[in-house]
Amino acid sequence: MSPTEAAPLRSAPRAAAAPLIEARKVTRILPGIVPTTLVHGIDLAISSNEFVAITGPSGSGKSSLLYLLGLLDLPTSGEVLIRGQETSSMPEEDRAHARLTMLGFVFQFHFLLPEFTVLENVMLPMRALGRLSQADMRTRAGELLGSLGLGDHTSKRPDQLSGGQRQRVAVARALANEPPVILADEPTGSLDSKASEQVFELLRDLVEKKGKTVVAVTHDLDMANRMHREIKLIDGAVVTDEFQVRR
């Protein structure tokens, strides 16, 4: 190439996609006469299409970490980022919007409202977001329940369902606004072995067939061993963070 010839242009390297959720030096301390440290100095990043177990002994900070990642609590220090955006300094209205659009929640005790039907419970996050008409909300809720084998139960109240069925309703509710991330706190903790396996398979299908990211706190080591990644906490700190062979 002569000195006067222009060098060929090179494509700039493509930037790696930002993690869906990232914690940077996150610490949460409960104030009091004797302050209690729930989590301390946690760094982690969770990306698209991950199936993550958070494990550890009771009192290790598992649920505290999940609530911080889910913007249900604020860190005392450090940062929680959603798709690269720091959330602690957001107005609460913006954090609430991020929760509604980015995150779905499943808890050990499903927290379905007993005065509402199954269909109405699934519609609640859609009502809060306010994007769909009443008719569209009912249609989407019905489709979600049908996809989870609950199409014949839409008009029932939660107390008319089994524990496993109620937890599937909770999963449908978590999916209502099509969030990319599902956060689950002991989702099988109150279920018998058969229902636990059904809920586990449902969560795995969300990752492997729907492309979701699922992060679940669990004491069930068999369940954790079948997930793609295990983050283990002891005394509020991450002691291991390992990817596992997919099973």
Starting from the edge strand earliest in sequence, which strands make up the sheet with 85-86, in order? 36-46, 21-30, 77-82, 85-86
- For 21-243, CATH gives 3.40.50.300
Low-confidence ranges of the chain (pLDDT < 50): 1-15
Instruction: Say what the pLDDT of residue 193 is.
Output: 85
Instruction: Say what the pLDDT of residue 15 is.
Output: 43
* Closest by CA position to 53, among listed 230, 237, 245: 230
Question: Which region holds residue 9: left if phi is over 0, alpha if psi is between -120 and 50, else beta?
Answer: beta
Could you tell me whether strands 77-82 and 85-86 are parallel, antiparallel, or unpaired per DSSP bridges? antiparallel
Cα four-point dihedral sign 65, 29, 235, 26 = positive
Instruction: Say what the pLDDT of residue 14 is.
Output: 40
Instruction: Say what the pLDDT of residue 245 is.
Output: 61
Residue ranges covered by each domain of the chain:
21-243
Instruction: Say what the pLDDT of residue 187 is.
Output: 86
Phi/psi for 112 (5° steps) reads -75, 145
